[in-house]
Amino acid sequence: MTSASYPATRLRRTRATAWSRAMHRETLLTPADLIWPLFVTDGAGVEEPIASLPGVSRWSVDGIAKRAKEALDLGIPCVALFPNTQPDRRSDDGAEALNPDNLMCRAIKAVRDACGSDVGILTDVALDPYTSHGQDGLLDDRGYVVNDDTVAVLVDQAVNQANAGADIIAPSDMMDGRVRAIRMALEMNDHPNVQIMAYSAKYASAFYGPFRDAVGSGGLLKGDKKSYQMDPANGDEAMREIAMDISEGADSVMVKPGLAYLDIIWRAKERFGVPVFAYQVSGEYALIEAGAAAGVADRDALLMEKLLGFKRAGCSGVLTYHAPVAARLLNG
Ligand code: PBG
């Protein structure tokens, strides 16, 4: 990149007025860049505020359908669903994940009924909302999360969600080989157009706490998820994860959490040129809200700057609990 030296070049020239700044803006954020994660709970007409995620609630299936309508009205193209499974339906093997009438499947159908195919439905594949131990997979005698037997269950979970009407299957479990296995099963079960958005580079992060409250797995979890989720120190390994998931048939990949991993997003986009999504996770949301409440900065300005950062780093879109707030701001 070349430019003349000062004073022939004055980079402040184009910044002097609002119209000129608008004209030279390199990155555009729109509501179509947002995916809205929603938490589902049992019952009817239920809204349960989540203390660690101020402004976010669990909704019963009827409320989820209303939120999906709201997404449609705001120009948000896709919602992501996460169930808070009743305690008596959680088990060691997470079998409730395969129940065609589970909370997740009922929510998928309710969104489909309310919005037709105008809103995308993304569903998380992993066993943690269904296991009595809060881990994403099956445990052996020593408490190790086993890979291949877990993948077999995840495949059935994915097909169960696709049968209910999911548009995008998003495996968040970090098992090896699950993308290929799920892709093959979707092809064989008459779901050739159901997408896979792989949580490819998902780190063992301290930012997931409020999410675990929201799905009710936090209190159950003993230990951590470091034997399957990635070490935050590693970037090259993330490129290998992403390369593998693409080769196994992922339509798009995800980096998670978001803000501390912008370099991973950038590297992935530069290297592979595939659609990359970021998950601005629960802890990131909660910190923005807490910062604003503490008077650090204006909430809206903080969240818009962060979302723009994801786009600038190369994201096609961002999963964020701030999606409706951001969309309203963008829609002016
Ligand atoms: C479950 C899952 C998690 C998140 C999304 N899917 C939690 C975890 O891995 O423990 C985190 C999302 C968030 O914090 O907002 N596999």
Q: What is the CATH number of the domain that holds 226?
A: 3.20.20.70
Q: Is residue 321 part of a domain?
A: yes
Q: Is residue 3 part of a domain?
A: no
Q: What pLDDT was estimated at residue 165?
A: 98
* Cα–Cα dist 56/126, whole Å: 22
Q: Is residue 109 part of a domain?
A: yes
Q: Is 200 a residue whose pLDDT tops 90? A: yes
Q: What pLDDT was estimated at residue 3?
A: 83
Q: Is residue 169 part of a domain?
A: yes
Q: Is residue 20 part of a domain?
A: no
Q: Give the count of domains, the chain.
A: 1
Q: Is 185 a residue whose pLDDT tops 80? A: yes
- Per residue in 75-117, pLDDT (tens digit) is 999 999 999 999 999 999 999 999 999 999 999 999 999 999 9
Selection from 164, 209, 214, 212 nearest residue 189 by Cα: 164
Q: Is 322 a residue whose pLDDT tops 90? A: yes
Atom 7 in ligand 1: residue holding the nearest Cα? 208
Q: Is residue 215 part of a domain?
A: yes
Contact 70, 26 (CB under 8 A): no
- Per residue in 162-171, pLDDT (tens digit) is 999 999 999 9
Q: Is residue 186 part of a domain?
A: yes
pLDDT more than 90, % of the chain: 99
Query: 241: annotated binding-site residue?
Result: yes
Q: Is residue 88 part of a domain?
A: yes
Domain containing residue 294: 28-331
Q: Is 178 a residue whose pLDDT tops 80? A: yes
Q: Does residue 202 carry a catalytic annotation?
A: yes
Per-chain mean pLDDT for the chain: 97
126 touches ligand 1 (CB under 6 Å): yes
Q: What pLDDT was estimated at residue 2?
A: 82
- Catalytic option among 225, 256, 306, 311: 256
208 touches ligand 1 (CB under 6 Å): yes
SS3 sequence of 47-88: EEECCCCCCCEEEEHHHHHHHHHHHHHHCCCEEEEEECCCHH
What is this structure's pTM? Answer: 0.97
The average pLDDT across 178-190 equals 98
Q: Is 1 a residue whose pLDDT tops 80? A: no
* Cα–Cα dist 169/190, whole Å: 14
Contact 254, 279 (CB under 8 A): yes
Q: What pLDDT was estimated at residue 215?
A: 94
172 touches ligand 1 (CB under 6 Å): yes
The average pLDDT across 255-282 equals 98
